């Protein structure tokens, strides 16, 4: 940890400033018509906070792809249904998935994960019955300090 000293006249305040690491975790998928799949991160060996999520895809078919952002204790994916993991949006929003829209979409979320060894997942669902669609997402996390 780094300590920053602030001089407040007659008394001095010592404030802790955390050293932190921000990581962008990318996910990508190319889905055939009416297909779905889960993209899984590598194991995250420290507690973290999800700061934001961003989706991206082709401007023409962006509304056809649903994005489910998940936090999990395992690295299991699915091509049949959304894995039964903790949904990031379920903790902050009445909607459980996003559609990409025309190009990019970005939102801050601030979800804290205190457990070590967790995984991030994005489950992609192509709702278009004709076209193959490429889509992607980025989950931005910050490493939290270890508790003593």
Per DSSP, what are the bridge partners of residue 8? 11
In the predicted structure, residue 56 carries a pLDDT above the cut 50: yes
101 located within any domain? yes
Mean pLDDT, residues 74-85 taken together: 84
Say yes or no to pLDDT of 2 above 70. no
E-only strand ranges, 32-143: 36-40, 48-57, 65-72, 86-87, 98-99, 105-113, 119-126, 133-143
Q: Is the pLDDT of residue 10 over 70?
A: no
| Residue 32: inside a domain | yes
- pTM of the entire predicted model: 0.80
Q: Is residue 5 part of a domain?
A: no
Question: For the chain, what percent of residues have pLDDT higher than 90?
Answer: 33
Q: Number of folded domains in the chain?
A: 1
Q: Is 12 inside any structural domain?
A: no
Longest dimension (CA), the chain: 72
Averaged pLDDT score across all residues of the chain: 79
Q: Which residues contact 104 (CB under 8 A, 6 or more apart)?
A: 54, 55, 56
Rounded CA separation 16/5 (Å): 9
- The tokens for 120 are 């991030």
Indicate if the pLDDT at residue 4 is higher than 50.
no
Please report, for the domain that includes residue 29, its CATH number.
2.60.120.680
* pLDDT on residue 57: 76
More confident residue, 7 or 134: 134
Task: Please give the Cα distance from 23 to 41 (Å, whole number).
Answer: 12
**Domain contains 136:** yes
- What is the residue range of 63's domain? 21-143
pLDDT at 7: 42
Is residue 122 in some structural domain? yes
């Amino acid at each position: 940890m780094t300590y920053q000293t602030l001089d407040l006249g007659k008394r001095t305040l010592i404030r802790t400033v955390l050293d932190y690491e921000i990581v962008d975790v990318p996910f990508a998928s190319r889905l055939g018509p009416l297909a779905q799949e889960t993209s899984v991160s590598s194991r995250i060996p420290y507690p973290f906070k999800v700061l934001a999520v961003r989706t991206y895809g082709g401007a023409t078919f962006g509304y056809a792809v649903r994005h489910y952002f998940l936090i999990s204790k395992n690295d299991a994916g699915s091509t049949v249904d959304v894995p039964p993991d903790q949904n990031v949006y379920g903790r902050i929003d009445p909607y459980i998935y996003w559609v990409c829209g025309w190009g990019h979409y970005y939102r801050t979320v601030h979800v804290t994960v205190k457990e070590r060894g967790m995984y991030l997942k994005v489950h992609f669902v192509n709702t278009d019955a004709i076209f193959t669609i490429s889509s992607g997402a980025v989950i931005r996390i910050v490493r939290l300090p270890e508790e003593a």
